[in-house]
């Protein structure tokens, strides 16, 4: 490039290209052609150093004038195209009778839905709700519940210990102790909450939900427990379900049982552990077992959710998959 470079022709060519641009995208390509990293103006500036010293001021002046002229044409055409696009949009016909687009709304988690339904049933029977800490001490989680010091549930492979005293509670049963410490019979209470155990497979997760139930009064027997839990499952899952009680062992109840429900694959799924409150548990909270009796039960919420919605892997409930959770909007 020399001092005979025709800047006038460059301006005329740019003006013509800019005028023929049909939209803002085409105009941007023209701008890049002249002002981009490898554009014509950039090339002119780079070659300025190759000219004799006496020609550089004049050549630089022509470059600046050319830049200013092309920028004016670009700005003018941009305003024209922008105005045209606005007018076109305003002239576009809209059918105002069409329904608007609804905003997406969230939904309750299936675990929350199930807990709400469980509360609804037991509230009708006069039960109240109480809560306890998720970081529990070993006395309320084990000792006062008549769980021996050598019991395997106390071991670190089953329980998340924080220190020698505190742990992440393994069950909501500790709430029944806290309730009986401050209230005297008659007592009817349920205690929903999260619990933690060191276990993970398609039927277990390290964190899951339980609802503890407790009824203490005079003349309470196992028949009362069986009737209430049977009616509860009929209420939640329908009267066509198959259920069974089978003998079991829990340190804090005597006698103890587990309640199973048959799923659609003809498999028995344990959903509730229950039994008559052990006399030692009543003595630990200064309630006379000769005068009062009662029953307690622990409901596995996720197990009921699996049965209610035909879910075969419990872990999917905690993966936060929007496609899965959207199915419960109408629940």
User: What is the C-alpha to C-alpha distance for residues 121 and 124, in angstroms, rounded to an integer?
Assistant: 5
Determine the number of helices (DSSP H) and then strands (DSSP E) in the chain: 11, 9
- Do 315 and 205 meet the contact criterion of CB atoms below 8 Å apart? yes
pLDDT tens readout for residues 252-290: 999 999 999 998 888 898 899 999 999 999 999 999 999
What pTM, to 2 d.p., does this model score?
0.65
CA angle 298, 271, 304 (to 5 degrees): 105
Report pLDDT for 140: 93
Of residues 188 and 317, more confidence is placed in 188
Domain 110-328: which CATH number of 3.30.465.10, 3.40.50.300, 3.40.50.720, 3.30.930.10 = 3.30.930.10
Residue 149 C-alpha from the chain's centroid: 37
In residues, how long is the chain? Answer: 331
Domain residue spans of the chain: 7-91, 110-328
Instruction: Name the E strands within 237-292.
Output: 243-250, 253-262, 268-277
Report pLDDT for 285: 94
331 falls in which pLDDT band (50, 70, 90)?
Answer: very low
SS3 content of the chain, % helix, strand, coil (to 5): 45, 20, 35
Residue 188 has pLDDT above 50, yes or no: yes
- Give me 79's structure tokens: 């305003």
On average, the pLDDT of the chain sits at 87
């Amino acid at each position: 490039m020399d001092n005979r470079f025709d800047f006038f022709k460059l301006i005329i060519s740019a003006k013509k290209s800019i005028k023929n641009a049909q939209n803002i995208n085409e105009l941007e390509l023209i701008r890049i052609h002249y002002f981009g990293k490898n554009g014509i103006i950039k090339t002119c500036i780079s070659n300025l150093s190759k000219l004799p010293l006496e020609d550089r001021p004049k050549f630089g002046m022509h470059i600046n004038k050319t830049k200013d002229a092309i920028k004016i044409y670009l700005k003018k055409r941009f305003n024209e195209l922008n105005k045209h696009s606005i007018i076109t949009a305003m002239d576009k016909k809209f059918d105002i009778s069409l329904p608007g687009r609804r905003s997406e709304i969230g939904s309750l988690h299936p675990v929350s839905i199930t807990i709400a339904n469980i509360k609804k049933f037991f509230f009708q029977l006069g039960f109240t709700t109480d809560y306890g800490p998720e970081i529990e001490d070993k006395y309320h989680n084990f000792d006062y519940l008549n769980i021996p010091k050598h019991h395997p549930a106390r071991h670190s492979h089953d329980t998340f210990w924080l220190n020698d005293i505190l742990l992440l509670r393994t069950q909501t049963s500790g709430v029944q102790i806290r309730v009986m410490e401050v209230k005297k019979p008659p007592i009817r209470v349920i205690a929903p909450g999260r619990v933690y155990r060191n276990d993970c497979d398609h039927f277990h997760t390290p964190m899951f939900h339980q609802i503890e139930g407790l009824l203490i009064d005079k003349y309470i027997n196992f028949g009362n427990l069986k009737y209430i839990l049977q009616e509860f499952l009929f209420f939640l899952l329908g009267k066509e379900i198959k259920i069974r009680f089978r003998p079991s062992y829990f340190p804090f109840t005597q006698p103890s049982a587990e309640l199973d429900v048959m799923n659609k694959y003809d498999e028995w799924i344990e959903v509730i552990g229950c039994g008559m409150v052990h006399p030692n548990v009543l003595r630990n909270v200064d309630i006379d077992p000769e005068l009062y009796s009662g029953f307690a039960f622990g409901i596995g919420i996720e197990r009921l959710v699996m049965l209610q919605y035909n879910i075969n892997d419990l872990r999917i409930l905690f993966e936060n998959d929007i496609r899965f959770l959207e199915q419960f909007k109408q629940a």
